[in-house]
């Protein structure tokens, strides 16, 4: 079957099977930032936005992208580099495999929550697993990123 949708701001079409998973489709279309860490929607690595809302692309059928706006880290390059810089300045990116999915949710959180406190940040990002960092550096980075305008 054929579907049409927006991928990172550009109209695209794709030939898919009924059981094609969105994660596999966007990777095939060149969005290699999207990673698979599990098959059970537990790890958050495959997070993309569907109409600006984070979804786990491992658990979304590609057919559901029809007519929607799909955004991956490739479509948010400037923002990703800026938020990512805060992460790297803490040494928190480590192996980097979970970074894209993590940053997709950080950027979504920034749009959705107004000045979240520590507990709210942890809750919003609870679905993003990281095995390297132990999370402390990520929290430091997110707090600094969200406060960056105050930092100057």
- For position 91 contacting another protein by CB under 8 A, the verdict is yes
Please pick, from the candidates 96, 112, 147, 148, the single residue that binds another protein as defined by CB under 8 A: 96
- For position 67 contacting another protein by CB under 8 A, the verdict is no
Cβ-proximal residues to 66 (8 Å cutoff; 6+ apart), any chain: 3, 4, 5
Q: Any idea what DSSP says for residue 69?
A: E
Q: Any idea what DSSP says for residue 61?
A: B
Minimum separation from the CB atom of position 111 to another protein (A): 19
- For position 131 contacting another protein by CB under 8 A, the verdict is yes
Q: Is 5 in a helix, a strand, or coil?
A: strand
- For position 9 contacting another protein by CB under 8 A, the verdict is no
Say how many C-beta atoms besides its own lie within 10 A of residue 18's C-beta: 8
Please pick, from the candidates 23, 65, 125, 146, the single residue that binds another protein as defined by CB under 8 A: 125
Measured CA distances, 116 to 42, 43, 112, 137 (Å): 23, 22, 10, 17
- For position 38 contacting another protein by CB under 8 A, the verdict is yes
- For position 122 contacting another protein by CB under 8 A, the verdict is yes
- For position 116 contacting another protein by CB under 8 A, the verdict is no
Q: Smaller CB distance to another protein: residue 69 or 135?
A: 135
- For position 109 contacting another protein by CB under 8 A, the verdict is no
Measured CA distances, 131 to 32, 40, 59, 97 (Å): 20, 17, 21, 10
Instruction: List residues binding another protein (CB under 8 A).
Output: 32-35, 37-40, 42-43, 45, 72-74, 77, 80-81, 83-85, 87-100, 103, 122-123, 125-139
């Amino acid at each position: 079957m054929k579907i049409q949708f927006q991928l990172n701001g550009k109209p695209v079409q794709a030939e898919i099977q009924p059981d094609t998973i969105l994660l596999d489709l966007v990777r095939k279309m060149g969005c290699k930032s999207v990673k698979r860490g599990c098959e059970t929607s537990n790890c958050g690595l495959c997070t993309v936005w569907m109409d600006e809302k984070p979804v786990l692309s491992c658990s979304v059928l590609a057919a559901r992208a029809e007519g929607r706006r799909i955004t991956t880290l490739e479509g948010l390059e400037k923002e990703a580099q800026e938020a990512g810089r805060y992460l790297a300045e803490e040494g928190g990116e480590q192996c980097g495999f979970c970074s894209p999915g993590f940053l997709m949710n950080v950027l979504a959180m920034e749009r959705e929550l107004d000045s979240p406190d520590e507990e709210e940040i942890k809750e919003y990002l609870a679905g993003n697993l990281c095995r390297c960092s132990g999370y402390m550096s990520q929290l430091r980075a997110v707090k600094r990123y969200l406060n960056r305008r105050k930092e100057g």
